[in-house]
Chain A
Amino acid sequence: MSANSDVLIVGAGPAGLTAGLYASRAGLRVRCLEKMTAGGTAALTAKVENYPGFDEPISGFDLGQRMEKQARRFGLDIVSGSVDELAVKSNGFDVKTSGGVFAAEAVIVASGTRPVELGVPGEKEFRGRGVSYCATCDGPLFKNSKVAVVGGGDSALEEAAFLTRFCSRVYLIHRRDQFRAVKVLVERARANEKVTLVTHSVVQKIVGTEQGLEGVEVKDLESGSVKTLPVSGVFLYVGISPNTEFLSADTDTDEHGYVITDEEMRTSTKGLFAAGDVRKKSLRQISTAVGDGAVAAMSVVRFLEERESR
């Protein structure tokens, strides 16, 4: 199977959908490839309360659905599939996917990130049986239970607060004393009597039996003491990693694999653009992703115009 479009967008999160909206409205033939469903990482957030225009919190999933509907209204074609390889040709790209090869003149990579693993014993064994990377999805299954959240960024703090809706106790385990998360979230966690902060501490091991997870072994980095917190769930928010395996090694990335672009979202590969969380940037938010997406789409429009006029 082969099909052509002016631009192919990898990923239907906020960045990809916004790029699709702008490029479709500019009259390009746009195809957007999504391996799961619209919304990206944001779709896993229970409550989005910092995206302007939504004065009442909206679920990330609902926001993603609305972005998809809006882009489709202007003709964006969203197809299901994941990218195996992005082959650079002299005059465009062959995007090899699980559903066939798509040819496109330009490509916008908006493939986002995925959570990184903690890398401790028990993590793989109890994945889906107590170890979770999505409090929104799994939190309500831990009603009246004790759980742990690991991490110190916005996600960890937000999800710890979310979990107190269901859980009797939430241990927030962080390896430093200071949190990277924004102040309002840290203050909320400190004020929440269901949250116990376990700072300057690291998880060494996740323990349990056939029946499921029973606790996390935590080491206090200051005293060196080790104790086991009795929890039936542990939610890991220790970092993210970009989804860039399909990119050719010729496209410049930083040391963590994030794609390097200029202000016009151009990568080091001609005709290849990047937008959203997958890009090297200082703030990964829905609001910054949609900005990237709009800029990338208009850069593609200019790129195609310039090429035609030559």
Chain B
Amino acid sequence: MAATKPLHVTEETFEAEVLKSTVPAIVDFWAAWCGPCHMVAPILEEIAQEYDGRIKVCKLDVDANQSLAAKYGIRSIPSLLIFRDGSVVNQVIGAVPKAHLVKKIDEVLGA
């Protein structure tokens, strides 16, 4: 089986993939110009595999999807928003070590 990778979402697919996801979804608001975004990218790839089936890991390019970035008040990237049942239930702003991100995810999954 191919390894589960982060899913790239857009303004068109956001509702179906994130808001209506059956499992919680973590969305990485990122952009190509952002160094720290590149820092968290490999961490998210690991999480996508380790949490396969429990959380959906998504990436949203804020450059190509400015209205969603504005809607969620993104003023710093990377911003990692965790959605459950269509609402933001937890978030991490800025590049953080993997352990910190895992803790935030576990808070949501454990709740």
A binds B: yes
Question: Do B63 and A43 touch across chains, with their CB atoms under 8 A apart?
Answer: no
Asked whether B74 is an interface residue with its Cβ less than 8 Å from the other chain, the reply is yes
The count of chain B contact residues (Cβ–Cβ below 8 Å) is 25
Question: Do A136 and B34 touch across chains, with their CB atoms under 8 A apart?
Answer: yes
Contact A37-B42, Cβ < 8 Å, known A128-B76, A138-B75: yes
Question: Do A98 and B99 touch across chains, with their CB atoms under 8 A apart?
Answer: yes
Question: Do B38 and A61 touch across chains, with their CB atoms under 8 A apart?
Answer: yes
Chain A, interface size: which category? 20 to 34
Question: Do A137 and B99 touch across chains, with their CB atoms under 8 A apart?
Answer: no
Measured between alpha carbons, how far is A127 from B39 in the docked complex, in Å? 20
Query: In A186-220, which residues have CB < 8 Å from any B CB?
Result: 211-213
Q: Which of B31, B38, B94 is the one whose CB lies under 8 Å from A37?
A: B38
> Across the two chains, which residue of chain B brings its CB closest to A134?
B36
Asked whether B69 is an interface residue with its Cβ less than 8 Å from the other chain, the reply is yes
Measured between alpha carbons, how far is A93 from B79 in the docked complex, in Å? 37
A–B pairs, 16, beta carbons within 8 Å: A36-B39, A43-B36, A60-B35, A61-B35, A61-B38, A80-B97, A80-B98, A82-B97, A98-B97, A127-B93, A128-B75, A128-B94, A136-B35, A140-B31, A140-B33, A141-B77
A61-B38, A142-B75 given; name 14 further pairs at CB < 8 Å: A36-B97, A44-B35, A60-B35, A82-B97, A128-B76, A128-B79, A128-B93, A129-B75, A136-B34, A137-B37, A137-B78, A138-B77, A141-B75, A212-B75
Q: Which residues of A contact B (CB under 8 A)?
A: 35-37, 39, 43-44, 46, 59-61, 64, 80, 82, 98, 127-130, 132, 134, 136-138, 140-142, 211-213, 232-233
